[in-house]
Amino acid sequence: MEVQILFLYLSLFILSLNFFFQNVKPRLSRLLQPSFETRVKAAILSRKEVAEFLESPIVEEEEKEEEEVYQEGIGTISISTFDFDPYMTSKTESVNKALDEAIPLGEPLKIHEAMRYAILAAGKRVRPILCLASCELVGGQENAAMPAACAVEMIHTMSLIKDDLPCMDNDDLRRGRPTTHKVYGEGVAILSGGALLSLAFEHMTTADISPERMVWAVRELARSIGTRGLVAGQAMDISSEGLDLNEVGLEHLEFIHVHKTAVLLETAAVLGAIIGGGSNEEIENVRKFARCIGLLFQVVDDILDETKSSEELGKTAGKDQIAGKLTYPKMLGLEKSKEFVKRLTRDARQHLQGFSSEKVAPLVALTNFIANRNK
């Protein structure tokens, strides 16, 4: 009898363990994952050491030594021999083809024309390419991540349409041609932006991945564009116009750009890693990498706005200065901003340590492209 009772208790214990690992543990893991707010806060706090960096000049010899160690860590040969231009051309063509197919002409005709006008303009496609490269980094295939890549570009284009409106940044030029509202009117522009936002989520759900990963991806994308993402950054940007530099600090400026620009670049990379089947550790490393290049993208954008012409940029140059917006050159000065670019570039690369040198090469090259772009 005692043996039977012992066997019964043992069976119950095993069944309880099985129930825990099958049902309770996954839910606990999701609950214990850092919230979006915590991750954003961490992104801002993690950059506080930048204040010390800005107080003293970068020592060139130290930079060179750090770079050599980094290159040795992820494979110098694969990266130095990687041909980035054909890679970008091939990925851009694939993205453009997918976007063209995703938004065919239909009724209402004006709305679809405006959507296609805005999204099929000659953009750099950095966000969708980042999504595809991150998917391949963790072992996934391009075709699996393409719906998400297109979704990110749809949302990015939506944000540009709205940013350019008279009630926002009031811009007449985007991607080398008149802004959407200048061609189709404000009403159609606003509606086309809303349509792109809606289509982004619909289109992303066509990806062939598990329901759990799809829900994860949808949640990531939704959070990145609301009051804890793009909207938060845009709202803070508007309310900060004309502020005295003595009233704000670097953290204030960084909050704007982490939310307004960096968050969508970060999300693009994270979506790729989720869809590609990356582990939690791999996804978080990709997130940290993309957070750095997201901020890097904006710092370079601020520098270009001050140093390039409208013809060179394909959009109105100097508009941030005219609007009294907070920018890195305005707060730090041009030279310090350029030094900040170098710092962020090195930080981004460091987060790619541990990945395959062959698969990481496109992301390293993409980082260099963002840091050294001229428009």
Beta-carbon count within 10 A of 33 CB: 13
Q: Which residue has the tokens 């999504």?
A: 131
Torsion of CA 371, 373, 374, 375, to 10 degrees: -110
Cα of first residue to Cα of last residue in the chain, in angstroms, is: 81
Helix (H) or strand (E) holding 93: helix 84-102
Beta-carbon count within 10 A of 126 CB: 22
The Cα 13–Cα 19 span in angstroms is 10
CB 120 within 8 A of CB 96: yes
Burial (CB count <10 Å: 0-12, 13-18, 19+), residue 62: exposed
Which carries the bigger pLDDT value, residue 22 or residue 45? 22
pLDDT at 266: 94
pLDDT at 186: 96
Helix (H, G, I), strand (E, B) or coil at 170: coil
pLDDT digit string, tens, across residues 82-119: 889 999 999 999 999 999 999 999 999 999 999 999 99
The Cα 84–Cα 366 span in angstroms is 8
CB 200 within 8 A of CB 154: yes
Angle at 159 between CA 149 and CA 127, to 5 degrees: 25
Q: Alpha helices, DSSP H only, in 308-333?
A: 310-313, 319-323, 328-332
Beta-carbon count within 10 A of 100 CB: 12
pLDDT digit string, tens, across residues 237-269: 888 877 776 667 778 888 888 888 889 999 999
Angle at 244 between CA 238 and CA 245, to 5 degrees: 100
The Cα 362–Cα 375 span in angstroms is 20
My answer on whether omega of the bond before 108 falls inside 30° of 0, hence cis, is yes
Q: Which of 160, 159, 92, 86 is nearest to 131 (CA)?
A: 92
Beta bridge partners of 177: 174
pLDDT at 373: 86
What six digits make up the tokens of 319? Answer: 């508009």
Please determine, for residue 225, whether its predicted confidence score (pLDDT) is greater than 50. yes
Mean pLDDT of all residues in 189-193: 96
The matching CATH number, chosen from 1.10.600.10, 3.40.1390.20, 2.40.40.20, 3.40.50.300, for 37-60+76-372 is 1.10.600.10
Task: Indicate the pTM of the whole model.
Answer: 0.78
Task: Place 333 in a pLDDT band, splitting at 50, 70 and 90.
Answer: confident
Task: Place 292 in a pLDDT band, splitting at 50, 70 and 90.
Answer: very high
Share of the chain above pLDDT 90, in %: 50
Q: Which of 241, 256, 235, 239 is nearest to 319 (CA)?
A: 241
- Domain ranges in the chain? 37-60+76-372
